[in-house]
Amino acid sequence: MAKIKESSTQQSNKRQATLECPVSYVINKIGGRWKPLIIYHLLAGPRRYNELKKAIPPITEKMLIQHLKELETDKLITREAKQVVPPVVVYSLTVSGKALMPVIQAMGKWAALESNATPVDTYGLFS
C-alpha cells in the first residue's frame, strides 16, 4: 500500500520519537491529512464509507480507505461489514478513539486563542 523502508534513518528516528515522546506518539496516530476530520465525523456517531466520503468532499477514495485502514490497525476505529449487496460498511470509533476527546478539546482551546479562523463544527460537538 505505502511502501516503507524499515531500515531508513527516518523510520528509526520516527520509532524512537513515538516511543519516547507522547506528543509524537499521538501525532503519529492522528497526523494524516484527513484523519482528524474522519475522527471528527465519527465522534458524532458511526458512519458508512459513503457517508464519510460525502462529508469530506475533497478527499479521494484512495486517501479515505488508506486512512481508514491505518486508523483501524491503530485500533482507533472498527470496521463492520454487512454481507449484503450493494455492500454496507460501517465505521465506528473504539474506546481508544473516543478517549481522544480531551486531546481534541485541548487543541481546540489553544487553536481558538491562537488562530483567528473560525473552525467548522457541523455537529456542535464543541459548543
Partner DNA sequence: CCATATACATACTTTTTGGTAAGTACTTGT
Partner DNA sequence: ACAAGTACTTACCAAAAAGTATGTATATGG
Which residues here bind a copy of itself, judged by CB under 8 A? 10, 13-14, 16-27, 30-31, 33-34, 36-37, 39-40, 58, 96, 99-100, 102-115, 117, 119-120
Pick one of 19, 22, 57, 61: the residue that binds DNA (CB under 7 A).
61
44 binds, among DNA, a copy of itself, none (CB under 5 to 8 A by kind): none
DSSP character at residue 30: H
- Considering the complex, what minimum distance in angstroms separates the CB of residue 31 from a copy of itself? 6
Percent helix, percent strand, percent coil in the chain, to nearest 5: 55, 10, 35
Q: Choose the stretch contacting DNA; rule: CB under 7 A; options: 36-44, 63-71, 95-103, 108-116.
A: 63-71
Q: Which of 25, 50, 96, 121 binds DNA (CB under 7 A)?
A: 50
Best CA proximity match to 1, nearest among 70, 52, 53, 50: 70
From the list DNA, a copy of itself, none, partner contacted by residue 62 (C-beta under 5 to 8 A by kind): DNA
Q: Got the DSSP string for 75-121?
A: TSEEEEEES-SS-EEEEEE-HHHHTTHHHHHHHHHHHHHH--S----
Which position among 22, 62, 120, 124 is part of the footprint of DNA (CB under 7 A)?
A: 62
**Nearest of 12, 33, 31, 35 to residue 23 by alpha carbon:** 31
Distance between first and last Cα of the chain? 38
Q: Check residue 105 for interaction with DNA (CB under 7 A).
A: no
